[in-house]
Amino acid sequence: MKYLSEFRDIKAIQKYIERIKIILNGQKISLMEVCGTHTMAISRYGIRSIVPENLRLISGPGCPVCVTPNYYIDRAVALAKEEDIIVATFGDMLRVPGSLSSLELVKIKGGDVRIVYSTMDALKIAENNPSKNVVFLGIGFETTAPTIAASIKEAKNKNIKNYFVLCAHKVMPPAMKALVANEKIGIDGFICPGHVSTIIGSNPYKFIPESYNKACVIAGFEPVDIVISIEMLIKQVIKGKPEVEIQYKRVVKPDGNTFALKTMYEVFEPCDSEWRGIGVIEGSGLKIKKDYSDFDAEENFEVEVETVRENKECICGLVLQGLKYPYECKLFRKLCTPENPVGACMVSSEGTCAAYFKYSDM
């Protein structure tokens, strides 16, 4: 396939859906995607509505903004209130509600919060504002962590002493381990994340079929990619021979991007990390190494953080685990909308609630 139209060919999609129906033959199977872009694509192209009813597609914790816990948002808000601090962030974080406030509300009240499109933009702000401390909000999975590591290395090389990162990076395989071990979810296979896999490759997922007997296919993001990947997964489940396959071969290699991984682990090291709605997962986070602690915002700034509180009516945590659908939340489409988000899953452009709001009739 060379052209975009081939990846969205309706006849090809219909062909694969018919093949899926035949292979399933009435058997019930549950597959989970753990990438926010996959969540959006599945909803946007109506894939959930055209697969057989006995095939359940579950959205997992694939949105980095959504899985970031409240205490991190509250700390970012507290930093943004400081007169000598500029908070730089990707746009998705601006409207995420913390316990009592958000970065957007702080900005409206005069806080210096700036949206950037790359980590190097944040570093440039630090260079141009030597009298201010610039704190970049480092969230995201293995996809973004190498770029943020590169910005920290660049700051050290240039001796830029007013650039800091508030780190909340997470890595996907340990989270997938926690999910597959949860029998309440009942996962038969994973639509593995395409973007993350371009960095880490396919090898880190091998423990899933080997230890948990669950299927894995790394998928691309167009509708034809996704239905092909679903067929590949179903074949693994039906045959009882789970493995890690790469459908997204035009981008993903078994060893991933070794240069990006080297950069990431030069600056960061594994740590336990809290995921919204899931809890603390061992080895699922990244923290800044001691050699680069001069750029660690958590180590260099003491701020008074608001008491962490979660909205008791928001079921974002259950949605992220695949235990509930967005439409099962009593706030969904009523009090919680993209214009007035109550939970993180509605704020992010990759959030499950945002996907269901935009594309689902339920």
CATH of the domain at 16: 3.40.50.11750
Residue 322 makes CB contacts below 8 A (sequence gap 6+) with 32, 58, 59, 60, 179, 185, 187
pLDDT of residue 4: 72
Residue 28, classed as helix, strand or coil, is: coil
Confidence category of residue 2, pLDDT binned at 50, 70, 90: low
pLDDT of residue 277: 83
Q: How many CB atoms lie within 10 A of CB 253?
A: 14
Predicted confidence (pLDDT) per residue in 301-334, tens digit: 998 887 777 788 999 999 999 999 999 999 999 9
Say if 241 falls within a structural domain. Answer: yes
Query: Would you say the pTM of this structure is higher than 0.85?
Result: yes
Statement to judge: residues 153 and 271 lie in one domain: yes
Two structure tokens written together for 124: 């440039």
Statement to judge: residues 113 and 71 lie in one domain: yes
Statement to judge: residues 51 and 182 lie in one domain: yes
Statement to judge: residues 38 and 186 lie in one domain: yes
Q: How far apart are CA 225 and CA 194, in angstroms?
A: 11
Residue 356 has pLDDT above 60, yes or no: yes
Predicted confidence (pLDDT) per residue in 325-355, tens digit: 999 999 999 999 998 888 889 988 899 999 9
Residue 80 makes CB contacts below 8 A (sequence gap 6+) with 87, 103, 106, 107, 111, 112, 113
Say if 37 falls within a structural domain. Answer: yes
CATH of the domain at 82: 3.40.50.11740
Say if 353 falls within a structural domain. Answer: yes
Predicted confidence (pLDDT) per residue in 138-193, tens digit: 999 999 999 999 999 999 999 999 999 999 999 999 999 999 999 999 999 999 99
Statement to judge: residues 32 and 131 lie in one domain: no
Say if 306 falls within a structural domain. Answer: no
Two structure tokens written together for 243: 């493995």
Mean per-residue pLDDT, 204-229: 97
Statement to judge: residues 159 and 269 lie in one domain: yes
Say if 309 falls within a structural domain. Answer: no
Closest C-alpha to 49, from 24, 26, 17, 11:
17
Range of the domain at 342: 316-359
Residue 24 makes CB contacts below 8 A (sequence gap 6+) with 52, 54, 55, 234, 238
Say if 311 falls within a structural domain. Answer: no
Closest C-alpha to 312, from 358, 347, 277, 361:
277
Q: How many CB atoms lie within 10 A of CB 167?
A: 27
Domain count, the chain: 3
Q: For all residues of the chain together, what is the average pLDDT?
A: 94
Statement to judge: residues 26 and 82 lie in one domain: no
pLDDT of residue 279: 92
Statement to judge: residues 166 and 137 lie in one domain: yes
- Runs of H (alpha helix) within 172-295: 172-180, 194-200, 207-212, 223-239, 258-267
Say if 228 falls within a structural domain. Answer: yes
**Which is it for the CA torsion 348, 261, 275, 111, positive or negative?**
negative
Statement to judge: residues 161 and 105 lie in one domain: yes
Q: How far apart are CA 31 and CA 13, in angstroms?
A: 18
Statement to judge: residues 233 and 220 lie in one domain: yes
Output the CA–CA distances (angstroms, integers) from residue 205 to 64, 155, 158, 278, in the order listed.
19, 33, 37, 20
Rg (CA), the chain: 21
Statement to judge: residues 45 and 17 lie in one domain: yes
Sheet holding 133-138, edge to edge: 113-115, 85-89, 133-138, 163-167
pLDDT of residue 308: 72
Burial class (CB in 10 A: 0-12, 13-18, 19+), 290: exposed
Say if 251 falls within a structural domain. Answer: no
Statement to judge: residues 36 and 93 lie in one domain: no
Query: Which of 58-62, 132-136, 337-341 shows the lowest per-residue confidence on average (mean pLDDT)?
Result: 337-341
Q: How far apart are CA 310 and CA 328, in angstroms?
A: 18
Question: How big is the chain, counted in residues?
Answer: 362
- Runs of H (alpha helix) within 240-361: 258-267, 297-300, 316-320, 344-347, 352-359
